[in-house]
Amino acid sequence: MPSSGHPTISAIVPVHNGGEHFHRCLKNLSQADPPPHEIIVVADGETDGFSRVAETFGARVIRLPVTGGPARARNHGARAATGDVLLFIDSDVVVPPDTVGKVAAIFKDDPALAALLGSYDDEPGATNFLSQYKNLLHHYVHQTAREDASTFWGACGAIRREVFLVLDGFDESYRHPSIEDVELGYRLRQAGYSIRLCKELQVKHLKRWGVLSLLKSDLLHRALPWTELTLRRRHLLNDLNLRLSSRVSAVLACGLAASLVGAWWRIGLLGLATALGLLLLALNAPLYLFFYRKRGLRFTLQALLWHWFYYLYSTVAFATGALLHIANRSLSGTLRLSKAILPMGRS
């Protein structure tokens, strides 16, 4: 600890190939007041040489020759860091000037706190519908969740360095931006550490989402690995995206879709579809009112339809992930049995 009593903050930014978003990220981070103890940029198999820009902002650059994913990159940065607290920031995130000071003050005031996470703000950088919808949904979910968190967040999350090193950091088997932060949060809570969701710690997300990029991220890099992690640890959270209301909404959305399809043959099912739609609307009314206050009626109607579609494809992904988990367990059991029997047969 420095004489002020505030812990020193090492800001760690993993990046594959930089660009304007990365430039804005570093510019704001370097202008933080107070500044971080150090800024460490980990160039994860870059091909554009943009990491050189980081050096003009006073950042220390670690270059990895082969891309291994943000989990590995963050771990390299953490091992090189010398600050008391590791502040992880994504390369497409812009932090307000007081971010570093807020993080240091929170850890100073709560010596028992192991980690914290923030949220996106309600003014996303990209202006297209899907980017606005995705980031506003994230903002709402985090701002309405309980502060005693059950997970971690790599886009803007901080953790005491000694705790991070004791837990061996992020799981590097996640080779793409995925749920490596969620998995670390699971291990933090399992080890008895406390995590706080700091709702006042808000950052701006600059990423532009399109239909294909959003579905790929939600399905392949979030839903499927999150399902596997949940089933492997046999613990279903009631927090953030996995709240009970979300699980009920997923069931209602599937029932609504099935009723609409069945109505082609039995018109009476339209009544059931209407009832299920009204239930979905009522259950998620606070979110839709939030959308309406922020972006108006047209945006809200678009968001409502996409949100219901989100519940549908998330349910399909969960079912697929559960089947894959069962198949993998069966295959593993068969292989273990074969290894146990094979030596006996050879004798």
Taken in order of first residue, the domains within the chain and their CATH numbers are 9-209 (3.90.550.10), 240-343 (no CATH)
pLDDT at 242: 65
Q: Which residues are bridge partners to 156 per DSSP?
A: 89
Residues 93-130: tens digit of each pLDDT? 999 999 999 999 999 999 999 999 999 999 999 999 99
Cα Rg of the chain (Å, integer): 22
How much of the chain, in percent, has pLDDT values that exceed 70? 91
Q: How far apart are CA 275 and CA 262, in angstroms?
A: 15
**241/266: higher pLDDT:** 266
pLDDT at residue 337 in the model = 46
- List CB contacts of 51: < 8 A, sequence separation 6 or more: 15, 18, 41, 43, 61, 63
SS (H, E, C) 59-107: CEEEEECCCCCHHHHHHHHHHHCCCCEEEEECCCEECCCCHHHHHHHHH
Residue 300: pLDDT over 50: yes
The pLDDT assigned to 3 comes to 46
pLDDT mean over 153-160 = 97
Per-residue pLDDT, 341: 55
Q: Are 244 and 251 in contact (CB under 8 A)?
A: no
Q: Which helix (H) or strand (E) holds 115?
A: strand 113-120
